[in-house]
């Protein structure tokens, strides 16, 4: 039987982004991709991201965090999930901030209200080998991603927010089926680690409408790192101010790309749903 059996998980959502939190601090347990997929099959446990907490590796952080998609793959960052973790760790305390660490970054979170938190998402990266891409491209702000059969898409802007993003700015009355194009673009040969795919429409310099196909998850109600990548891409294209409201299917995030330190800050809501023990039957048949 998996040692995760009967562990308690917390179900939350960040702007409709379905989040599970599994706290393994104080143990020597880990999580396999097979166990991640098994948890996601549990009744009421479908998630976009599973946030797993471990003991801190650095003395000045509150926890080390790993992030898993429902297909068992690992993600380097999840802004909506990080806000949920911040609420979960700060609940019942008088503290108003904490620092989380992942393999990719240190994430500083601040409480803005009872159910609102901001997260410093780090500095965006634009070099082809930092995103990463399979090989050099002349300009990561203007990249043509060819599909077969051909699809009329605008040039993409490619950005890393600790995970790879391709942002397409759509204009006019034309429509693009993200449910169809998302998986094709996610697995485009240019992306050795796949990519998150964003279709964005700039309403005004301080308002962008966004839909996201999230790698390893699919269509999602919200994706915090994609909202950050989209704001950065819009600024680099001269389409947006350095702070804007990003409207996703699940609601609004407020994103600011700070000039003083180059970091991107995301602010948005969280919601608690319930806590539940993991049924041992979920792990029946898994390798020991």
* pLDDT at residue 287 is higher than 70: no
The 10s digit of each residue's pLDDT in 164-201 is 999 999 986 557 899 999 999 999 999 999 999 999 99
* pLDDT at residue 288 is higher than 60: no
Instruction: Kindly state the percentage of the chain with pLDDT values over 90.
Output: 88
The 10s digit of each residue's pLDDT in 128-158 is 999 999 999 999 999 999 998 889 899 999 9
Q: Given the residues 84, 109, 223, 228, select the one marked as catalytic.
A: 223
Start-to-end C-alpha separation, the chain: 7
Give one word for 79, left, alpha or beta, with left for phi > 0 and alpha for psi -120 to 50.
alpha
The 10s digit of each residue's pLDDT in 205-236 is 999 999 999 998 899 999 999 999 999 999 99
Per-residue confidence (pLDDT) for residue 76, from 0 to 100 = 83
Please give the Cα distance from 185 to 144 (Å, whole number). 11
Residue in the structure block whose two tokens are 């793959």: 73
- Which pTM does this prediction carry? 0.90
Please give the Cα distance from 262 to 199 (Å, whole number). 24
Say whether 228 is catalytic.
no
Per-residue confidence (pLDDT) for residue 174, from 0 to 100 = 58
Please give the Cα distance from 111 to 47 (Å, whole number). 24
203 vs 175 pLDDT, higher one: 203
Per-residue confidence (pLDDT) for residue 158, from 0 to 100 = 98
Per-residue confidence (pLDDT) for residue 103, from 0 to 100 = 85
> Which domains, and CATH codes, for the chain?
8-122+271-283 (3.10.310.10), 156-262 (3.10.310.10)
Residue in the structure block whose two tokens are 């109600």: 221
Per-residue confidence (pLDDT) for residue 204, from 0 to 100 = 96
Instruction: Kindly state the percentage of the chain with pLDDT values over 70.
Output: 98
The 10s digit of each residue's pLDDT in 21-34 is 999 999 999 999 99
Per-residue confidence (pLDDT) for residue 173, from 0 to 100 = 56
Say whether 78 is catalytic.
yes
The number of angstroms, rounded, from the C-alpha of 82 to the middle of its chain's C-alpha atoms is 9
Write down the mean pLDDT value for the chain. 94
Q: Given the residues 78, 84, 109, 228, select the one marked as catalytic.
A: 78
Per-residue confidence (pLDDT) for residue 104, from 0 to 100 = 79
* 232 membership: H or E segment, kind and range: helix 224-236
């Amino acid at each position: 039987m998996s040692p995760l059996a009967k562990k308690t998980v917390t179900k939350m959502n960040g702007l409709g982004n379905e989040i599970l939190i599994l706290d393994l601090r104080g143990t020597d347990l880990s999580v396999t991709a097979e166990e991640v997929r098994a948890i996601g099959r549990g009744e009421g446990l479908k998630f976009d991201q599973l946030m797993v907490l471990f003991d801190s590796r650095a003395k000045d952080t509150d926890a080390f965090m790993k992030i898993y998609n429902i297909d068992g793959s690992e993600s380097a960052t999840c802004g909506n999930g990080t806000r949920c973790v911040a609420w979960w760790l700060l609940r019942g305390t008088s503290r108003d901030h904490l620092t989380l660490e992942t393999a990719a970054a240190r994430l500083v979170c601040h409480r803005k209200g009872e159910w609102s938190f901001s997260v410093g998402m780090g500095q965006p990266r634009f070099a082809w080998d930092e995103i990463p891409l399979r090989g050099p491209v002349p300009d990561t702000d203007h990249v043509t991603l060819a599909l077969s059969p051909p699809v009329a898409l605008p040039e993409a802007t490619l950005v890393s927010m600790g995970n790879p993003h391709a942002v397409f700015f759509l204009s006019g009355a034309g429509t693009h089926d993200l449910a169809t194009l998302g998986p094709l673009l996610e697995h485009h040969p240019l992306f050795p680690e796949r990519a998150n795919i964003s279709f964005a429409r700039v309403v005004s310099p301080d308002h962008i409408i966004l839909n996201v196909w999230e790698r390893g998850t699919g269509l999602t109600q919200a994706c915090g790192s994609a909202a950050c990548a989209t704001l950065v891409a819009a600024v680099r294209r001269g389409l947006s101010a350095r702070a804007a409201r990003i409207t996703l299917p699940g609601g609004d995030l407020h994103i600011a790309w700070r000039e003083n330190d180059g970091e991107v800050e995301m602010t948005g809501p969280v919601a608690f749903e319930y806590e539940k023990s993991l049924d041992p039957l979920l792990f029946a048949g898994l390798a020991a």
